[in-house]
Amino acid sequence: MRIWRRVAIEELHHLDARRDHERIAYLDACFEFPWDTTHSLELALFRTFAVAKGSALLAGTGEFTERTQKRYDDTVLILSELLEHGYESERGRAALRQMNRIHRRYPIPNDEFLYVLSTFIFEPIRWNARFGWQPMLPQEREAAYIY
């Protein structure tokens, strides 16, 4: 892992956030901050359950009270497909279609979708600033936002 981490660090310094945001997200999640990414996204997912407007729907569907682990596992699987293969790949597009199919049947207002998306963008950045073993590079923060 140490050799791969050094390679990842070297590569990160040469990547552009706009052009290479998918690669930067992959390197951060898999090599630079794997533990931090996992736990910050767990917290982000928990935040989606804690929003007053969305919690009634989640409680009503049983997603929070009866199928919490399944909900978490399904989210991780979909996000992993996007991260490992890119959202423009066939597998990435299939993962996005599945995510949309899952959520389509519920009357979720757009502002709630935006809140959930924002937790997946900003929680890892906030986590890193507070607990990260090293600060994210500026291009890592920008890439997280673009991704």
Predicted local confidence at residue 2, as pLDDT:
57
Q: Where are the domains of the chain?
A: 2-146
pLDDT digits (tens, 9 = 90+) for 51-84: 656 677 777 777 777 887 888 888 889 999 999 9
Q: Taking the model in full, what pTM does it have?
A: 0.85
What is the rounded (10 degree) CA torsion for 91, 95, 101, 102? 150
Looking at residues 17-41, what average pLDDT do you find?
Answer: 94
What does the pLDDT average to over 122-133?
Answer: 94
